[in-house]
Amino acid sequence: MILKSHTKWALLRGVTTNPSLIVKRKKRDLHEVIQQIADLVDGPVSAEVIATTAPEMVQEAHELIKLGDNVVIKVPYDCRRFKSSVYSF
C-alpha cells in the first residue's frame, strides 16, 4: 500500500477515502481497506457510506465506525437524503 510510505510525512494529518475508487481500482473489500488505512494513520480517516437510503446509510455507518477509533463517517448530502443525518449514531 503506497500510503504506508507516506505516513512518515510530517504533513499527513488524516486521510479521506473514496469508496467507488477503492472498489473499482483495487477489487478489494472496502471495509478491509478502510481498516488498514485507519491502522496506519494517527489522524482522522473519512469513510463515506455508499448506501442510498437513510436506514441503510445508518446501518453502514455503524459498521464503518467499528473499523477504527479514528474513522469519521461521511454522509452524502442532498435534500432527498438529508433525513439520514438526523439519526443518532
- d(CA 39, CA 82) in angstroms, rounded, equals 30
Residues 81 and 59: their CA atoms lie apart, in Å, by: 14
- Does 74 qualify as catalytic in the annotation? yes
DSSP code at position 82: G
* List 4, 27, 66, 74, catalytic entry: 74
The residue to which cell 435534500 is assigned: 79
Active site residue ranges: 74
